Amino acid sequence: MVSLRSFVTRPFSDDTRDLIMKALSGRATMEELCDLPFSLAREYAEVVGENTSATPLDAVAIHGQTLWHHPPVSTWQAASGPALAALVSVPVIHDFRSADIALGGQGAPLVPIFDAATLIHPSVHRVALNLGGMANITILPCGASQSDVWAFDTGPGNVWIDTGIRSTFGKRYDTDGHIGRAGRVISPMFQECTSFPYYAQDPPKSTGRELFSEAEARRLITKYSHPSSPLEDVVTTMTEVTAWSVADHVKRYAPLTTEIIVSGGGSQNSYLLERIGTLVEANGMKVTIAVHEHWDAKEAMAFAYLGWLTLNDQTGNLPRVTGASRAVILGSIAKV
């Protein structure tokens, strides 16, 4: 049984966030790339120290900051597990994706084993949808076992929407989808955004900012936005791209779905959820869309669960999901 005891979230400091953005854009120096895992470890340690005095920890599990994801060759999540273990004085489980990559897998998604443990229903066909920077779905047939679960990234989640809102209105995100709701889809821009070959690929598959980058979004915005057109149209179009890609994959791979449970920051964009529901039902399906009870904590819960599996010598990947040649114990354990 998995339950949430407590949860806190805190943004990175401006310095660390700026360093992350430089690394993601390829502008960071070798010195800065060397510094980043330690900066992250120090910030993680601060949050752990501030919030665990009443409840001693057995271990800490961290995903780290993805800087590059190049399956099935390599993946890079920045964060120094040994540094964090030294700072918090408990073992740290880290580097969860490398073993799956080494066995020919995508290294992602890894959350489906947690979805299988917590969301399978005896009589309801479900999809767990996470709307982070990328969007991914876990297909959970009613009464399924782990071997029946399927999952993959559908394409961009919030990354292009957020880029659109920054480029046009200077905001970090579209609060509750108010701006996206106010515009109209720019048809040629939508057509190019949805023409990426990734969408047509069959799973196992995963993607990231290497393909659906902020730079690519800015290129598309520059190409198709017009000074005489409402700025809202850019945000509406990017929102429609995410909604379309999710709905298209649900239609193709989970046509029996009757409930979609949404987590991640995009779950708070009511316009995006409405568009997903409308597009799914346009395919002849009838679905209920619900926001996960712990929509903001689910990813943290999932990696805590993966850490527990590793500490107990249990495998954490699902080969059908990632494409790895076999199930494997994930991560490295940095001891005190």
Domains of the chain: 14-107+317-334 (3.30.420.40), 112-291 (3.30.420.40)
User: pLDDT tens, 269-312?
Assistant: 999 999 999 999 998 999 999 999 999 999 999 999 999 999 99
Placement of tokens 């998604």 in the chain: 109
Cβ-contact 239, 174 below 8 angstroms: yes
pLDDT, tens only, 107-157? 999 999 999 999 999 999 999 999 999 999 999 999 999 999 999 999 999
pTM of the model: 0.93
Residue with structure tokens 């689910």? 298
| Over residues 226-230, mean pLDDT | 88
Q: Are 179 and 103 in contact (CB under 8 A)?
A: no
> Residue 84: which H helix or E strand, with range?
helix 81-88
- Give the CA dihedral 220, 224, 227, 230, nearest 10 degrees: -90
Number of neighbouring beta carbons within 10 Å of residue 226: 8
Is the pLDDT assigned to residue 54 strictly greater than 80? no
Interacting residues of 167 by C-beta distance below 8 A, sequence separation 6+: 217, 218, 221, 234
Q: Kindly indicate the confidence band of residue 55, based on its pLDDT and cuts at 50, 70 and 90.
A: confident
Which of these, 264, 257, 248, 308, lies nearest to 109 by C-alpha position?
264
CA 108, CA 86: separation in Å to the nearest integer?
28
Residue with tokens 């249990």: 314
Which residue do the tokens 């929102």 mark?
Answer: 239
